[in-house]
Amino acid sequence: MSLKFNLNIPQKSILGFNVLSSFHSSLSCYLLLLFGRILNPLFGYSEIEIKAGALFNIILNISVLILILNLFFKRKQIRKKSFILLNLLLFIYLPISIYIIFIYIRILFSSIKNNKTHIHSSNR
């Protein structure tokens, strides 16, 4: 008994570009994760730098999440063994990415909330 989902996924993006293949999505994920790993230590410790770093990590991990979903939907373009070998680390990273998104959203909102508290207390 096999379940087959017949999703009609568009072949072009909103801007008219072709959607990436499974292989290209995998490579893009690894490149984004590498750039994120390199750029994360460059964010500083001031309040604006923490907000910028949190926003960067949210956008980075949402992009990785979208690319992982795309490579999963396009998985028939690569042989099964190659697909598993190429994407095993990305599938392991998937729940970590979701966790990181929630953590940085919490950090971003708590810093915004603290900023509003400072504004209201300075007006008194």
Structural domains in the chain (count): 1
Q: Are 39 and 60 in contact (CB under 8 A)?
A: no
Domain of 44, in residue numbers: 22-122
- Identify whether 12 is part of a domain: no
Q: Are 68 and 94 in contact (CB under 8 A)?
A: yes
Q: Are 63 and 101 in contact (CB under 8 A)?
A: no
From CA 94, how far away is CA 24, in angstroms rounded? 17
What is residue 118's predicted lDDT score, i.e. its pLDDT? 61
- Identify whether 10 is part of a domain: no
Q: Which residues 6+ apart lie within 8 Å of 37 measured at CB? A: none
What is residue 6's predicted lDDT score, i.e. its pLDDT? 66
What is the per-residue pLDDT across 60-109, written as a single tens digit (0 to 9) for each?
Answer: 999 999 999 999 888 888 899 999 999 999 999 999 999 999 999 999 98
Q: What is this structure's pTM?
A: 0.80
Mean pLDDT of 33-46: 94
- Identify whether 106 is part of a domain: yes
Closest CA to 97 of 49, 52, 58: 58
Residue 3 has pLDDT above 60, yes or no: no
Percent of the chain with pLDDT over 70: 84
